[in-house]
Each structure stands twice: as structure tokens, then as C-alpha cells.
Structure 1
């Protein structure tokens, strides 16, 4: 089960996402406060203060657990995505270094094709895969470029023992690129489940709303505390969303900068 809201928030420009995830919870808290003070008297709030505070503490503990699990899961998604990009570009770099080993006079065309295949693959990832990933949709745009890269190295005819030994290693590097590429393209489908996001949103709203079932000596102080709590809730939500969708947004956490470097290979 998936819901669109988290990815939509992640896709927003950073300033707008921060504004929404902070202003909306604070606005909800203020509006709920106005409603609660209109429905109940100060004496009723005071009578419910002890029981309400105990129950609110229970709700806060639930929120703390849910928020912690969400942040851990989102951080794991971000860290895995970052490591996949590093592995993919590192293997590409090793392939680029390996091209100089095929230094025979008759292997000039092979070296040229190897370097061209690496540049083409990096350029295709930047031009086709990354915009689709940034929009949160699946892409197969780099399939042909990856097949060309594979054929350029696996079909090379070694002339020396060192080239034969290296060709076995290049197969491992190509396998690393293939695994990292699949993981990179499928990161959206492996993000936190929609059920988890529903739970986070539900508990967040409960934390913002439940604090109004008991009052304090000063209404202004209660409003200020409610705003601070809502600000914390919104900030946790924003950080979780950005980490869970590291490629999505106008200013994503992960950029194709490593692939740009491989595009300059000569």
C-alpha cells in the first residue's frame, strides 16, 4: 500500500517543503487550541489536567518510538542509496583504469570503444535515469548503454596473459555495476511502506491534538508549547521524507556528480 503525500513532500523545493512541514502542524495546533477553548471551560481543562497529562505521556512515548523507527528506516534507505551510487561509479572508474591494459597496436579500436562505452553509460544515467528518479518514477533508459558497456569489455580479445587475468576481474566489476544499477533504479519501490507513513502521520496528528485535552495556568503559554511541539513533529516528518526519497526533489540529497566525472573520461 502506497500513499502519495510523502513523495510529494520530498519532490517540493527545499524551502517550500520546510515551510509546509513546519507551518501546517503549527497551524493545526493553533486551530485545535481555538476549537478546544471554545468547547471547554478553563475549569474543565484543570479538572482533566492530571489524567490528561498521563495519557498524553503515553501518546508521546508511542510517537517517540514510531518517529525513531521511521528515522532509522529512512536513514537506512538513504545510506543504501548513497552506497549503491558509490559502488556503481567506483566500478566504472576501475573499468576506465583497465582500458590502458589493452595497449596492443591492434587493440586501439577496443580501447576507444571501452572508453566511449563508459562515457555513454555515465551520460545516459545523467540524462535519462536521474530525471526519472528525481521525479520518483521508474526508468529503463540506461539499458542499452549498459549492454554496450558489457559487450565492450566482455567481447575484448586478450593478447597477453595479463589481459586475460584482467578480463576475469572486469566481469566482477560489471557485475557490481549491474547490482548497484538495479538497486539504484528500484530504490523508490523499496522505500518505507505506505502503512508506515500512515502510522507516522496518524501518531503525529494525535500528538498535536491530544495536548489540548488538558490546560495550564496561561492560555498563551499553552499555545506557545503547542507550537513548539508541532514544529518538532513537522521537522521530524520533513527529515524522514527527505531521507526516504534521496533522489526525489528539486534539491535531492543525492546528485549525479560522480557520473559527471566519468563523462569526462578520455
Structure 2
């Protein structure tokens, strides 16, 4: 399965994505139940109950392992993306705070240029990088703005000891922003591969389908249990998808709010 399908599901509004990921497994479970009851008799189901239950337990264990690995991997992607975003935003915030250190009437233009460079970079991130990140495609839209901001802060000549000392720390903040920026732009390459999503989907379908190879005392109870299992499977899928694509969705788990705030810097 290509990675396009989970990306498209993540891009849907949350309630629509949840509805699809839960309704489709439930519908699949009910349809398979009707088909199985039409093909086999209650006696055949009962005869296969013991062996079927053992085999189903094996399938469930495989699903549990695959689901756990997928959730852990998706959570790691989300957590890394969140930490990266915070790191980049905090670096910009410290640069913004450092601007006022370059005080004095002779450095009015320098302060204005610094604030403008931060605003331009924040604007490039929100207006150019973010749409590309949501679409899952590479982006270099903020390259020029970042290079300009770097030159503005590194090329300034301090007039006082405090300004000269601050310049040493400024380079560290710029390096922090650069490192976080590269990590943010490469988050798409860290997402779970299409093969993993194919494995998750295959095992999920197997869990839903395999339970019908053995029956219970009550067909209605068996159908109800199948529906509950399908809801669990669908819930695992939607949570994994949302975590694996943190910049995608309506609303997304991660937003450009910190950069929007920097665009108002004056």
C-alpha cells in the first residue's frame, strides 16, 4: 500500500477520519459475518470452534505486536516533530529577545533589520514551508529568508562588551534554529513506510475476518463482539495515522502558531 492512503486519511477533518477508520472495519465485520453464516452451518462453526479459537489467538498476538510497534513508531514521529518545532521556535524567540541589546541611536536600523529578518523567516515558514509539509512534499521555501536572517545577526558589529558577548551566543541560537529547521523539513522522510502501513492493514483485516471461522452459542452476540473488535482496530488505525502525520489534518496536531506569533514582532 502506498503511503498516499494514510496521508489522505490524516488530511481529512478529524471526525471524518475517525468515522471512516471505525465505520469501514465495522461494516467489513458485519458483511463478512453475513457471508460466513451463508456459507457454513452452525454445526460446522461449532466443530471448528476449538481449533479456530487457538488459531485466532495466534493472529491476535501478531496484531497486538504490529499495532504496538506502529503506535510506538507513530508516537516517536509526533514527539520528535513536536520537540523540533519547539526548539526552532525557542531559538527564534531568543533571537528576538536579543535584538534590544543592540541599543543606542546608531543601531536603530540594525534593530529594525533584525526584527524584519525574523518576521520574514517566520512568514516564509508559515506561507511556504507549511503547505508543502502538509502535502508531504519537500520544501525549500524558507531557505532565502533563513540565510538572510543568519547574515543579519552574524554580520552585525557590537559597540559594547555586552553586544560583543551576545554575538557569541547568537551563533548558537542560529545553529539551533538551523538544526531544528532541517529536522522539521525532513519529518516526512521519517514517517512509517508504505510496507508498514500495508502490514498494519493486512493484519487488521485478518483479525476482523478470522474470527468468523468459529461460531458461538448466539449469532447476535458473535456479531456484537465482532463489531467491538472492529471498533478497536479502527481506533488503533486512526490514532496511528494522526500521530504519524502531525502536520496534516483539520485540525493538525501541530500548527505554525509559534511562527505566526513571530510574524507580529515589532
TM-score normalised according to structure 2 size: 0.97
Q: Distance in 2 between matches of 1:143 and 1:2?
A: 30
How far did residue 48 of structure 1 move?
0.4
Residue 135 of structure 2 is matched in structure 1 by 135
Query: Would you say how many aligned residue pairs link Structure 1 and Structure 2?
Result: 266
Cα displacement (A) at 1:108: 1.3
Correspondence list, 1:149-164, <5 A = 149-164=149-164
Per the alignment, in what secondary structure is the counterpart of residue 197 of structure 2?
helix
Superposed CA deviations along residues 18-55 of structure 1, whole A, max 9, x for unmatched, are: 11101100011111111111111100000000110011
**In structure 2, what is the Cα distance between the partners aligned to 1:160 and 1:2?**
58
Matched with 2:214 is 214
- Residue in structure 2 matched with residue 5 of structure 1 by the alignment: 5
Residue 51 of structure 2 is aligned to residue 51 of structure 1: yes
Is 1:252 aligned to 2:232, yes or no? no
Post-superposition shift, 1:250? 2.4
Shift of 1:103: 1.1
Q: Using a 3 Å threshold, how does the CA distance of structure 1 residues 10 and 90 change in structure 2: closer, same or farther?
A: same
- Equivalent residue, structure 2, for 1:170: 170
Map Cα deviations across residues 153-198 of structure 1 (whole Å, 9 max, x no partner). Answer: 0111111222121111111101110111111111111111211111
For residues 97 and 258 of structure 1, what CA distance do their matches in structure 2 show? Answer: 15
Cα–Cα, structure 1 residues 2 and 158, in superposed 2: closer, same or farther, change >3 Å?
A: farther
Alignment RMSD, CA only? 1.1
Gaps of 5+ in 1: none
Conservation of the 8 A alpha-carbon contact between 1:95 and 1:170: yes
Confirm or deny: 8 A CA contact 1:84 1:180 kept in the other structure: yes
1:112 aligned residue: 112
CA distance in 2, matches of 1:254, 1:137: 17
Q: Which aligned pairs between 1:1-266 and structure 2 lie closer than 5 A? A: 2-266=2-266
Which residues of structure 2 form unaligned runs of 5+?
none
In structure 1, C-alpha distance between the alignment counterparts of 2:131 and 2:142, rounded to whole Å:
12
Distance in 1 between residues matched to 2:4 and 2:30, nearest whole Å: 26
Give me the whole-angstrom Cα distance separating, in 2, the residues matched to 1:122 and 1:147: 13
Structure 1 contact 211–226 (Cα < 8 Å) conserved: yes
TM normalised by structure 1 equals 0.97
User: 1: distance between equivalents of 2:256 and 2:9?
Assistant: 21
CA contact (8 A) 1:87 1:176 kept: yes
Q: Distance in 2 between matches of 1:33 and 1:252?
A: 36
- Residue 2 of structure 1: how far off its partner (Å): 4.5
C-alpha distance in 2, partners of 1:51/1:171? 67
Q: Where do 4+ consecutive residues of structure 1 move more than 6 Å?
A: none
SS at the partner of 2:215?
A: coil
1:180–1:2 distance in 2 versus 1, CA, 3 Å: farther
